[in-house]
Amino acid sequence: MGRMVKCPYCEQQVDKDVSVSHQKRYYHELCFKTMKREQDDYKSLMDYIVELFGEDKPLMLLKKQVKDLKDEGYKYKGMELALKYFFDTLGNRVKENTGIGIIPYIYEDAKNHYITIKKVENSTEGFNTDIKKKVVIIESPKQTFQKKSKSIDIESL
């Protein structure tokens, strides 16, 4: 048994021999995976915000809004999906100098939208999607044309 160190993510004690080392710090394995996923989600959110607002890098206002929303309990991936729902799915336009303050108002709607999509994907998972083509040849009816000519009686003229 090695020395006990403090995990910087959950602040609990962890054995140094069984922990995951990253940048001279020691994490529980689950804490390390969670931290890495959060970092990836944050980077993905910032990339989407840069793409959405057309800037080279996120503005400080947007970073502050993201930090405040995170402190309120919103997740980075949830914020990104809420923005995608609002701008891409609903088709709303980006207004200048507005930031991402819409997230608290649409977060639950976006969450329900993506849950519904996931349920549909899961429900169609068991179906056989191999569609066999069956070729059916239908012959068109043959039409016979008869030229009906009226006979003209020349004597009656």
Q: Residue 142: pLDDT band by 50, 70, 90 thresholds?
A: confident
Q: Residue 1: pLDDT band by 50, 70, 90 thresholds?
A: low
Residues 57-96: tens digit of each pLDDT = 668 888 999 999 999 999 999 999 999 999 999 988 888 7
Domain assignment present for 80: yes
Mean pLDDT of the chain: 86
Q: What's residue 129's pLDDT?
A: 66
Q: What's residue 69's pLDDT?
A: 95
Domain assignment present for 150: no
Whole domain around residue 12: which residue ranges?
4-123
Domain assignment present for 155: no
Domain assignment present for 37: yes
pTM here is 0.69
In this structure, are residues 2 and 15 in contact, taking their beta carbons and an 8 Å threshold?
yes
Residues 33-66: tens digit of each pLDDT = 988 999 999 999 999 998 888 877 668 888 999 9
Q: Residue 147: pLDDT band by 50, 70, 90 thresholds?
A: confident
Domain assignment present for 113: yes
Domain assignment present for 15: yes
Provide the terminal-to-terminal Cα distance of the chain, rounded to the nearest Å. Answer: 128
3 state SS of 20: strand
In this structure, are residues 19 and 27 in contact, taking their beta carbons and an 8 Å threshold?
yes
Domain assignment present for 134: no
Domain assignment present for 9: yes
Q: Which helix (H) or strand (E) holds 68?
A: helix 60-71
**How many structural domains are present in the chain?**
1
As a whole number, mean pLDDT of residues 130-140 equals 82
Q: What percent of the chain has pLDDT over 70?
A: 96
Q: What's residue 45's pLDDT?
A: 94
Q: What percent of the chain has pLDDT over 90?
A: 36
Between 79 and 9, the higher pLDDT residue: 79
